[in-house]
Amino acid sequence: MATAAAHRTARTDADGARTAVGDTAEYERAFDAAVAADERIEPRDWMPDAYRATLVRQIAQHAHSEIIGMQPEANWITRAPSLRRKAILMAKVQDEAGHGLYLYSAAETLGTGRDELLDKLHSGRQKYSSIFNYPTLTWADVGAIGWLVDGAAITNQVPLCRCSYGPYARAMVRICKEESFHQRQGYELLLALSKGTEEQHAMAQDAVNRWWWPSLMMFGPPDDESQHSAQSMEWKIKRHSNDELRQRFVDICVPQAESLGLTLPDPDLRWNEERQQHDFGTIDWTEFWEVLKGNGPCNEQRITQRRNAHAEGAWVRDAAAAYAAKHTGETGAKQA
Amino acid sequence: MTATVPATAALALGDDALVLSHRLGEWAGHAPVLEEEVALANIALDLLGQARVLLSMAGDEDELAYLREERAFRNLQLVEQSNGDFAQTIARQLYFSTYQQLLYTELAGSDGPFAPLAAKAVKEVAYHRDHAELWTLRLGDGTETSRERMQRACEALWRFTGEMFQPVEGLDADWAGMEAQWLRSMTDVLGRATLAVPEGPRTGAWSAGAGRQGLHTEPFGRMLAEMQHLHRSHPGASW
């Protein structure tokens, strides 16, 4: 209780006397105590600069992943093979744009606006998830993305619903609900293909072959090579290690692959009775680092499309701003 | 009690919704601002929902969408026009949504087979029209560039608007009355957007105005080729 009270005091002080020289050490103790007590840090609370910067980096990367992630799936909207599938896919891609909006707003609560973050994305100073640098070559890839990529994302993101920063945690609650729909639609899409014609089954298997390993890489480098992990765990931004989450994902996928009638492309994948977990093969980390550096199959294509959409839309945004400036008074008058 | 569904009308309305939904879907990942990714997808989804109900009234929705040849489609030529820039997409939407709102309002008030769909859809369409109208105002009365682009878009699509008011077999509506209202509405919105109402003809000399008879424009064939390719590549498969 003492911690909560101290933290509230710090919040009030930070809010009320932002410009005054505060007792940083005291604020820091209150912050640490709040985090230790599993309390939520809110936008107007005092927080260490590094905590703020870490959150902005992580939330921005997540937001960027949502909007870049629209591209590989949007690639199939115009070719979806039935109207039902087309409606589902459009809704899914729309959800991703919506997730981008929540997340940019969450970052904004930390004092960094969407324009600034988009600039950083467009200029390559901020990243998005490398998984979206792989191409969607067939319709089955839409299913594989839903089942594996969204499945991995959920495994990563569910713990973020308990993240210490309030706005991010709350955005993640909503995002995770929608992501679980996405994951199920991917599974269901693959199931239809797997039980379909021989060609459809082959298409599904091929997609799983191509997406399995990149999905495992989505959890990030092994724990001993992950540069941000330790501090993020301490701040309760992150709750589980990369390897822990990766293992959890593998254990979830194995029985699902069996139900789908599809094979996961790893000859070393087997149940380990002793560990009560699956053993799996070695991830090709060279590929991971190469794609991260920009040498993936679609890095250039994705960022170019994003930059172009932004540049080609500039006149539209300018027009909206000019119109708003001309008519601000009117709107205000109407509202009043 | 069960009114027979006039297939020609179901196809005309269904194809309009299907084709415009497809065009709007092409924007995904290319919109000028994130809010418009959401908005354009929303309109596309509403239209696709309408298309599925309407096509199902005329037959199997997927057979109709994926296995008809270009000449069998009954949509307006307006809705098949390429997205162009954002101004062209908005002009197309303004013209079409205003028409659709008028038509669905009439159909919703009738006791024909389209009344239930129209009653539901007219609420969605009111938002589509509102969205298009707000953007018409912003672009028309925004910057010099946006006004030029919006004016050009309004002019370019004007010749596809006469077709909307050709009576469709099986639809009981006051076509002349709707056309007059549509023109009044355009004069009002474009005027407020500081844009000139186009003066050119509202139908082309040769083909414009014949979408309802299955005569389309060149961009439509390519659109269908893309839309139908995967479905046609796996005859008889379920998805």
Mean pLDDT of B175-203: 96
Mean pLDDT of B155-183: 95
**Secondary structure in 3-state letters for A13-78:** HHHHCCCCCCCHHHHHHHHHHHHHCCCCECCCCCCCHHHHHHHHHHHHHHHHHHHHHHHHHHCCHH
Task: Kindly identify which residue of chain A lies nearest to residue B47, measuring between CA atoms.
Answer: A87
Check B41 against A90: CB less than 8 A apart: yes
> What's the whole-number average pLDDT of chain A?
91
Quote the CA–CA distance of A203 and B233 in Å, as a whole number.
Answer: 13
Q: In which band, very low, low, confident or very high, does the pLDDT at A32 lie, cut at 50, 70 and 90?
A: very high
Check B48 against A90: CB less than 8 A apart: yes
Check A309 against B31: CB less than 8 A apart: yes
Q: Which of B19, B23, B34 to mutate to test the interface with A (most CBs of A within 10 A)?
A: B34
Q: In which band, very low, low, confident or very high, does the pLDDT at A22 lie, cut at 50, 70 and 90?
A: low
Q: Is the CB of residue B139 less than 8 Å away from at least one CB of chain A?
A: yes
Mean pLDDT of A249-270: 98
pLDDT at A237 over 80: yes
pLDDT at B1 over 50: no
Q: Which of residues 15 through 74 in chain B touch A, CB cutoff 8 A?
A: 18, 22, 25-26, 28-38, 41-42, 44-45, 48-49, 51-52, 55, 61-62, 65-66
- State phi, psi for B119 to the nearest 5 degrees: -65, -35
Q: In this predicted complex, what is the ipTM? A: 0.96
pLDDT at A332 over 70: no
Check A79 against B143: CB less than 8 A apart: no
Q: Is residue A143 part of a domain?
A: yes
Q: Per-residue pLDDT tens for A174-206?
A: 999 999 999 999 999 999 999 999 999 999 999
Q: Is residue A15 part of a domain?
A: no
Check A199 against B234: CB less than 8 A apart: yes
By CB atoms closer than 10 A (0-12, 13-18, 19+), residue A273 is: exposed
Domain ranges of chain B: 7-233
Q: Per-residue pLDDT tens for A128-168?
A: 999 999 999 999 999 999 999 999 999 999 999 999 999 99
Q: CATH fold of B7-233, please?
A: Ferritin (1.20.1260)
Q: In which band, very low, low, confident or very high, does the pLDDT at A8 lie, cut at 50, 70 and 90?
A: low
By CB atoms closer than 10 A (0-12, 13-18, 19+), residue A139 is: buried
Q: Per-residue pLDDT tens for B80-139?
A: 999 999 999 999 999 999 999 999 999 999 999 999 999 999 999 999 999 999 999 999
Q: Tell me what pLDDT residue A287 has.
A: 96
Mean pLDDT of B153-161: 96
Quote the CA–CA distance of B24 and A74 in Å, as a whole number.
Answer: 12
The number of distinct structural domains making up chain A is: 1
Contacts of B44 in chain A (CB under 8 A): 90
Tell me A272's DSSP state: E
Q: Is residue A82 part of a domain?
A: yes
pLDDT at B2 over 80: no
Q: Angle CA(A139)–CA(A181)–CA(B125) in degrees, nearest 5?
A: 85
pLDDT at A42 over 60: yes
Mean pLDDT of B192-200: 96
Q: Which of residues 143 through 162 in chain B touch A, CB cutoff 8 A?
A: 143, 145-146, 149
Domain encompassing residue A162: 25-285
Q: Tell me what pLDDT residue A18 has.
A: 46
Check A318 against B29: CB less than 8 A apart: no
Q: Tell me what pLDDT residue A10 has.
A: 53
Percentage of residues in chain B having pLDDT higher than 90 = 92
Instruction: Give the CATH number of the domain where residue A182 resides.
Output: 1.20.1260.10
pLDDT at A271 over 90: yes
pLDDT at A314 over 90: yes
Q: What share of chain B is helix, strand, coil (3-state, %, to 5)?
A: 70, 0, 30
